[in-house]
Amino acid sequence: MRHPVLLALCLGTVALSACQKGGDAEVNRAMKSVNVIDESNLSDIMLTVADPNEAVSYFSKTAAENPDRTDLKRGLAKSLVRAGKPSEAATVWAQIVALPDGNSDDRVDYADALIRSNNWAGAQAELGRIPPTHETFQRYRLEAMVADSQKNWTKADSFYETAAGLTTKPAGVLNNWGFSKMSRGDYAGAEKLYLEAITYDPSIFTAKNNLAMARGAQGKYDLPVVQMSQTERAELLHTLALTAIKSGDVAVGKGLLQEAIDTHPQHFDAAVRSLRALDANVSKG
C-alpha cells in the first residue's frame, strides 16, 4: 500500500528538480540577455567616444573570443578606421563581406577603408559589386569620390547631387563637391556649393576657408557674409591675402595680411610671418 505513496513522493521530487532546473535555465537566459544588452552598450561606447586604440583592443579580444559574431568583427573594422589604420580595417572588411551574413553596407564600408588606404581601383571594384538598389548616402558619397579621382566630372556631379539628397546633414558632402569644382577651375560653382554647405552647418570652418579661396581665385577679396568669429575672420583674411599674392595682386595681399593681424584677438604668428616674408621679398626686388 505504501508503494503508490512512495511513487508519488518520487514524482514530486522529480518535478521539483525539473522546476529548479527550468528556473535555472530561465535565470541563465535572462542573465545572458542582460549581458548582451550591456555588451551592446559597451560596443556603442567603444565605437563613438572611447579612445580608438582602446576600442581596437576591446574588439580584437572580444571578436577572438567569439569568432562566430560578425557584429564584433564589424566593430573591430570600424575601430581600426577610427584609429587611423585603414589598411588593417580593409583586411577585416574583406573577411566580413565573404561571410554568409555580410551585406551591402559592409561592402560600402570596405570600399571606404580601401579609399582611405589609397586603393582607388579596389574601392571601385567593391562599389561595383553592390546592387544598384542599395541607394545610401555613404555609397553615393564614395562613388562621387571615385569618379573625382578619375576626373569623370559628369559622374562625380551626379553622385554628389544624389548623395546630398539622401542626408539631412549635407554640409560635408557639399564641401567636398565644392572642392571638386574648385579643382577643375570652376570657382563660381565651388563658391555656390560652399555657401550652401555653410547654411546647413555654420560651424564648418573648412567650407568657410575654401569659400575664401574660391572667391579670391575670382578676384573677390572681400569676405563673404557668413557667420564667423573674430578669430575665424582673421584666418579667412589671411587665406584671402595668400590667394591674392599667389594671383599676383601683391599690394592687395599685403593689405589683407595687415588687416588679418589687426583683426585677430591674439598674436597672429602665421600672418606676421607671411607679411615679413613679403616685405623681405619686396626689399630684395
Question: For residue 173, which of 154, 188, 156, 153 has the smallest C-alpha distance?
Answer: 156
**Contact (Cβ atoms closer than 8 angstroms) between residue 245 and residue 275:** no
Extract the C-alpha cell encoding 124. Answer: 571601385
**Contact (Cβ atoms closer than 8 angstroms) between residue 251 and residue 241:** no
**Contact (Cβ atoms closer than 8 angstroms) between residue 221 and residue 210:** no
Measuring CA to CA, how many Å separate 177 from each of 18, 26, 27, 211, 216? 67, 55, 55, 12, 18
All structural domains of the chain, each given as residue ranges with its CATH number in brackets, are 36-128 (1.25.40.10)
How high is the mean pLDDT of the chain? Answer: 88
Q: CA 67, CA 18: separation in Å to the nearest integer?
A: 33
What confidence tens digit (pLDDT) does each residue in 59-115 have? Answer: 999 999 999 999 999 999 999 999 999 999 999 999 999 999 999 999 999 999 999
Question: Each residue of 48-64: b (16+ CB within 10 Å) or e?
Answer: eebebeebbbbbbebbe
What confidence tens digit (pLDDT) does each residue in 167-220 have? Answer: 999 999 999 999 999 999 999 999 999 999 999 999 999 999 999 999 999 999
Q: Is 259 helix (H, G, I), strand (E, B) or coil?
A: helix
Half-sphere exposure of 4 (CA within 13 A, CB side): 1
Q: CA 164, CA 14: separation in Å to the nearest integer?
A: 66
Burial of 205 (0-12, 13-18, 19+ CB in 10 A): middle
Predicted pLDDT at 182: 97
- Supply the pTM of this predicted model: 0.80
Measuring CA to CA, how many Å separate 66 from each of 60, 61, 109, 124? 10, 9, 22, 32
